[in-house]
Structure formats: structure tokens, C-alpha cells
Amino acid sequence: MHYIFPLGLFGYGLELKGSLTLYILLTLLAVLAALFVYRFTLPPVPVWRRVVLTALRIVALAAIILLLFEPVLNIFRHHLEKQNVLVLVDKSASMSVQDAEISRREIVDELLSGSGLATLADKARLRYFIFSDSAKTLPRKQLDTTEALGVGTNLSFAWENASSAFAHEPTKAVILISDGGNNLGPNPVRLAGLSNLPIYTIGVGDTTVRRDAVVSEILANEVTYLNSIVPVDVRIKATGLGGKTTSLRLLNRSGVEVAREQIHFTGDVSEVTVPLKFTATQTGHLRYHVVLDSVAGEWSLANNRRSVMIRVLETRSQVVILSGPPTPSLSALRHTLEVDSNLDVRAFIESARGDYYLESSPSSDELAKASLIVLMNFPSRETKANLLNSIVDVVSSRKTPLMFFAGPATYKPSFDKIAEVVPFQMERGTLRETEVTLRAVETHPALASGGPLPIPWTDLPPIFGNSGNFAKGPLPQVITALSSVTLGIEEDEPAMLVWSGGGRKGIAFLVWGTYRWKLGLAKDSRGASFYDDLMGRFARWLISPIEEKRVRIHPNKSLLSGGERVFFQAQVYGADLTPRDDAAVVVRVTMGEHSEAIPLQGRGHGRYEAAFLPWEEGEYRFEGVAYVDRDTLGRETGSFVVEAFNIEMLDTRQRADILQNIAEASGGRYALAANADTMLANLEMPLRDVEYHREISLWNRAIMLWIIIGALALEWIIRKRSGML
């Protein structure tokens, strides 16, 4: 029960456990008892002393009775406070453009120091953010000194990120200061309609279309092969250049022209795709330049040049698949591997008679040329001994990686003939089969190259296997195990094995029916790519040269646009190739006379990362080192390229249409920068009534005990000094 006694904007309430009537009755009895005891005294004492003794007795008894009802003091307070307004300032590169007689930066500076925001600051708390491809909060005093260099603009991410940062505080509105360009992320107008805050947009910049031509996109294969013809498709956007003609050239890293095409712009607004091609005459990670010759009167030449990185390999990797009778799993794996243009896949499928469909069994020379040998539902009862001996010879002598898939046709006597090149044993002559699912046991670098898998192992459709089919040796690592309540498994029963050591690598699936992962998840938005992703990672890891590197450091991109940050990522492993989180990782970046050391921050599981903003365009070199105390674990060197092109320069006009639609969809308003002060000053920002409530338990506090002891002790002292009993 509460009693609240208001005092201005404050209120107090007392909560008692039990009946209020009983509490009042007991308190009145305590008062009457104290009055009765001190109605007269022996010896007689002055009236004032009897009054003091009576009061002390009442206080002590009332406090004791109060404690019996476990009192809780409630404090209420009301006050008015300002609500937040999130001010988002576009700092992408297009906001540095010079429009007519004034730059966009000057317009933004005038807005930030103008009367509109000053008036609004009297009614609300202004929270400032800058954004381009990402968003972050920033103190007001730093806004003027922050350059507009961002690569790309993501409008919807900007206000969603800002709203999340202050979700715990009352927020009334969003103010978006931008030119409206949006070249990253989802449609901002659609997401503005879902916003629970009105968005007031302020348009900065000229809305007229400039006379310009832009290299907007380059389409080329990232990997090709020596002496092959490489197609490069270049997309050109042009405005105001109808009837003009120019040339598009492709240059190698030495500046030598390797391809050229003429371009004729037919209209004031046109977009053309120009096919170029060249012959790859050297191997390596090569940079090629696409150059669009200037046209008289162009607004900017900075967007007439872009680069593309192409890796030229000497030859394609040969994959040899040896399969027992055809199965859906064979079709699924073959299709996945053949899609990879870096792989040349040949499949030898064994018939029930022991010969092979379409062609004869692979020769020793064909096996020797393989970069990867895949055994699928193989070897079977019909497999010839001389082929098994060839497999053992090639894997042993050439250290050819091996990928093994168990299956119903796998035959133990045949399997035993290749047992010396696989670190596990087949325990049964005929494999037992039941439906099983998998669960993760450990991670491995073979799985870590592309980040987390799309879905967890436990969410995959069931496949086939059983306990006791295989037993692993000491070398391989179990990355998944069988998981089925029908098996009654007490210990880990391996389902997938990975091994690496002594110059040899391999992966074994001790289960079968993996095609179900591809077909069963085909319509699953999360897992449709699981099978292709998994097999692609395993194939790349197996085919890549064996690296016993304990430290791997690389940038997230080898080619960046001007103003774009490069993110260095590192993986650090111990001597047993387990991740280490106790290392210090430093990357030194060098370009010309510039040099800077960048410490990487740990992210767990042996991963480290840090961001670096390049100084200018050009080719950069880096060297990364990981160490613990004074021991160096390893180092890595490499390079990356920064070019002048910025996606923001594709279209620099103010997109007033986008800003207007964002404002309307969210319930806000749009204004040009020249009229923004009036709109901001007229925004209604009522103060918010906030109630503060606090509960204080009195019954378990020492002060109540001290009040009782103090009152009784003082009463006793006075009685003694008065000569009373």
C-alpha cells in the first residue's frame, strides 16, 4: 500500500507489507502505552523531562512496529528534458565538388553554424554524425575539419546506424544534409517508409546535369591463363556529349597500349558497353588501365581512368575424379567443380563390370598431372589392382592432394590397398547406412577462407552414414561428427576428416548422400550456396601449395579507389596450427618516402585486423610481422594499388528527387540549403516529461536499528540521571 505526499515536483510514498489499519492501531497503542508509563514518575521529574522520555519511548516503539511491516520508501520526481535530434552530414567525395561560385563544403559549414540549427539546439539535443559508405558519431567542433573523401554513399545505413546508436535515448527526428547521391545499399526511399522517425532532408549542390563522360564499370575475369585471349567489357556513361567521338584504350602496367576502340555518343544521355580484348603474355597479378580519351568541354577528367587487376596463371589445375557407379552426389560435385574456370575436371566413372564409361581408366601419366585426385564411392569391388597401385604411387611420390567420399560401393579389400596414403581405416566390409545429421567439432583453415558458412551443420538436411564404419588414426583432425539419437553414440564418431603434414593434404567425407545439401537447400535463402561454398573452399585449400605459414597477412582488396580505406586482416597460428590470440601484429606500409606502422587489433580465434587510409594514389608495399614477447612467429609482405577513381564521381548532381521522396515517405520535409534555416527553426520539439522513481528498503537498513538503539539508550541515560528505576 502506498501513501504519497507531494511536494512541488517531488513525491514520496511509503509502502508497507500487511494491513495499514493494523499498523495504525499498533502505533496508537504504542503511543498510549508511552503516555501511560510517563503520566507520573518516581521520583517526580519536571514536565519537560517527562515529555522527552515519552517521545523517546514512542520513537523506539513506533520504529520497532514499522520494521515489522517491512517498509519501503518510494521517491517520485518529474522533470522536463530535451529530446534528441540526429544531424547527419554527408562526407562522401561528391560533397567536395565546386558548384558555380561556391563549394558544397562552404554551404554545409554555413548550415552547421546558421540560425536554424542554433534555434533548434535551444529546443533539442543535437547529436551529430558524418556518413558516406559508413556512419559514425562526431563532436560538433570536429565537423568543420573533417574532409569529404568518402567512397560511396549509403543513405539508409546512415540513419539506421545513427538511430541504433541512440536507441536508449528519446529521439524526435533525423536531419539529413546531403546531395542525395546513393550508390550503395538498399533503396533509401523504401526504408524511409519504415522509419519510426521523420527525416528532414536538406539538399546541397547543383541539380543540373554536367557535360561529362565516365568509365562507370569494368567487367573482366579475375583469373585467366597464359597466352589466352582475355575479354574486358567497359561500360561508359555520358551526358551532354551527343554527336561526340573519342577513343577507349587499354594499357598494361608499363603504359603500353594493348587494345583500342572508337566510341561515338549518339544522344545527350547515353550508356554504351565497349568490348576490348588482349592476349595475356605474362603471368602474375597484373594491373591494367582503362583510359577514356578526353572530349572537349568535359567537366572532369578524374573519372576517365580506371584500373582492373587480373591474375594470369600458367595453366589450369587438373582435377581427376575416380568414381564408382554413378550417384547424385557425383553429379552435384562434378557440376560444382566444373563451374570454377580455374579447374579442368575429368571424371572416370566405373561400371559394374570394372571398365569405365565413355573412356578407359586413367593412366599413370594422367594421374601424375593431377592437382587433385577425388575418390567418390570408390574403390569398389571391381576396381583393378594396378589402378589402385598407381594412385598410391602418385599420392606418395608427388604429394598429390586427396579428396575421399565414402559410399555404398566402397569395398574394404580394395580400400585396404590405398590405406597407406589415407590416415584412417575402413572397419567394415560393407558400410552400414542410416540417416544422420552432422555437428561441428573443430574449425580448420580449410573452412576459414570465406568467413562463416551460410548455415550451421545441424541445420543441414540428413544424409547417410553409421557408427563403426571407419576409425581415424592420430593424424587427421575431426571437423564434424555424426549426430543422431538413433545411433546411441557415446563418443565422437567422425564424419569429416582433414589432414595436412609431411607435404600431403587431404579431406575425407565418411558419410554419403551429400547431394542432399545441394538439392534440399536450393530454395533456402540462407543455405542455397552452402554446398557450392563448402566444396569450393575445400578444393581451393587442397589445390593451393602447401603453406606451413603460421602468419598470414593480407589487405581486403588489391585495388582501391581514392579515399577508400584498406583493411588489413591477419591470421596467426601456433606451431601446431591452432589459432593464437596472444600475439602482437604490426604492419608497416610504405609508398615512396611515406611509411607508417599500423598495429592490428585482436578479434579472437587467431584473427587480427586494422584499417589504414592511404595517403594518395599509387602502388603501396607492406610488411607485416607477428610476435609474442621477443619471439617472431612469422612475417608476410605484399602490395596493393590505390587509383584516383572514386565511385562518387559517377554522378555529382544533387538528387533532389531522392531527398524529397525520403522526406515524404518518413513524414518529414525537404528543403534546399538556402531555405533550410527557416525549416529548422520552425520544427516543433516539445520537451519530454520524465518521471524518476526510486525505491529504498527501510526495513533492512542499519539506520533503522540505530534509531531504535539510540532512542532506548538515551531514554535509559535520562532515567538514570533522574534517579528513576
Q: What are the mean pLDDT values of the chain's consecutive 10-residue runs (725 residues total)?
A: 47 78 88 86 84 88 86 78 90 83 87 91 91 83 79 84 86 92 85 90 85 85 82 88 89 90 86 90 87 84 83 84 93 91 88 79 88 94 92 92 95 93 91 88 74 82 90 86 64 83 88 91 77 89 73 84 83 77 94 92 88 87 90 88 75 86 93 91 84 78 87 87 80
Residues 528 and 665 in one domain: no
Residues 335 and 379 in one domain: yes
Residues 447 and 330 in one domain: yes
Residues 354 and 445 in one domain: yes
For the stretch 69-92, pLDDT in tens is 888 888 777 777 888 999 999 988
Q: Which of 543, 578, 610 is the last residue of a domain?
A: 543
For the stretch 543-596, pLDDT in tens is 877 655 778 898 888 888 777 788 998 988 876 667 888 999 999 999 988 999
Could you write out the DSSP letters of every residue in 190-247? HHHTT-SS-EEEEE-S--SPPSEEEEEEEEE-SEEETT-EEEEEEEEEEES-TT-EEE
Residue 572 lies in a domain: yes
| Pairing relationship of beta strands 584-591 and 618-628 according to DSSP bridges | antiparallel
Strands (E), 70-116: 72-81, 83-90, 98-99, 102-103
Is residue 56 a contact partner of residue 717, using CB atoms and an 8 Å limit? no
**Distance (Å, rounded) from C-alpha 473 to C-alpha 491?**
15
Domain of residue 555, CATH code: 2.60.40.1930
Residues 252 and 130 in one domain: no
Could you list the residue range(s) of the whole structural domain that residue 118 is in? 83-207+653-681
Domain of residue 507, CATH code: 3.40.50.880
Total domains in the chain come to 5
Residues 375 and 423 in one domain: yes
Is residue 199 a contact partner of residue 663, using CB atoms and an 8 Å limit? yes
pTM for the model: 0.53
Residues 217 and 248 in one domain: yes
Q: At what angle do helices 702-721 and 47-68 cross, to 10 degrees?
A: 150
Residues 130 and 95 in one domain: yes
For residue 653, report the phi and psi dihedrals to the nearest 5 degrees.
Answer: -70, 160
Is the backbone peptide bond immediately before 379 cis, with ω within 30 degrees of 0? yes
